Amino acid sequence: MADHAGDIFTEPEADPDTLRNLGPLRRMAGLWEGMKSLDVNLGPNGPRRQVYHERIALQPMDPQTNGPQLLYGLHYVARMVKPGAVATYHHQTGYWLWEPATETVIHTLTIPRGQTAMAIGHAAADATRFELRAERGSTVNGICSLPFLELAFRTESFRIEVTLNPDGTWSYDEDTVLMVRGRPEPFHHTDRNTLTRIEDPTPNPRMRRP
């Protein structure tokens, strides 16, 4: 954790080239698709298994500062559909952020069913695998849900592990732990996929070096 006990207002000079300052997130930049997927969710009669087609755009954003804190990152929009379907199965947006000074990775997510979360982990700049976690009740890596979800499908924790594969693809493995009303035991809602880049990232052209 960086020591910000002193000056909390002075901003550092940021490199406008976000792509070369993303640490382990650099290889995730771009437009991706994947079908090597599996979603295990809970239905009225027990666990259900569903494959899905995913398309996710992760585009570089300009450097961000909180006083002396400097963050580089990717804004993302992900859309999943069931095979042969048109309607969206799952939609998600947020940021992947990298703080070089503390080697911290931050993942924010928001879904249109009324839930948002922020997961945090640590990794070296050249890491090829890293894990992030969010916990219900935390004020720094927490989970916030609409009243119905809090009542009926309360999210206790969220974990995501990312692996950057040697062939240029990347994979994730997620575990969302739920307390479902009427069921005594927690349910592990899991998702995983492997994604292949179909387009390179597109940085802000006005921020590129001459």
Residue at 142 is within a domain: yes
The C-alpha angle with vertex 142 and arms to 100 and 160, in degrees rounded to 5, equals 65
HEC states along 58-115? EEECCCEEECCEEEEEEEEEEEEECCCCCCCCEEEEEEEEEECCCCEEEEEEEECCCE
The parent domain of residue 101 ranges over 18-202
The CATH number given to whatever domain includes residue 130 is: 2.40.128.20
Distance CA 71, CA 93 (A): 18
Q: How far is CA 48 from CA 38, 44, 91, 189, in A?
A: 10, 9, 19, 10
Instruction: Report the distance separating Cα 93 and Cα 207, nearest Å.
Output: 23
Q: Judge whether 106 lies within some domain.
A: yes
Number of domains, the chain? 1
Residue 63 lies in a domain: yes
- In this structure, is residue 87 part of a structural domain? yes
Is 185 buried (19+), middle (13-18) or exposed (0-12) by CB count in 10 A? Answer: exposed
Q: Is residue 174 part of a domain?
A: yes
Can you tell me the distance from the alpha carbon of 140 to that of 149, in angstroms, rounded to the nearest whole number?
A: 21
Give the residue carrying structure tokens 């995501």: 160
pLDDT value for 3: 56
- 50 within a domain of the structure (yes/no): yes
What pLDDT, on a 0 to 100 scale, did the predictor assign at position 52? Answer: 97
Does any domain span residue 36?
yes
CB of 55 within 8 A of CB of 97? no
pLDDT by residue for the chain (210 residues), tens digit each? Answer: 455 568 899 999 999 999 999 999 999 999 999 999 999 999 999 999 999 999 999 999 999 999 999 999 999 999 999 999 999 999 999 999 999 999 999 999 999 999 999 999 999 999 999 999 999 999 999 999 999 999 999 999 999 999 999 999 999 999 999 999 999 999 999 999 999 999 999 987 766 555
CB of 53 closer than 8 Å to CB of 35:
yes
- Single-letter amino acid, residue 107: H
Query: What pLDDT shows up at residue 5?
Result: 63
In this structure, is residue 208 part of a structural domain? no
Distance CA 160, CA 177 (A): 12
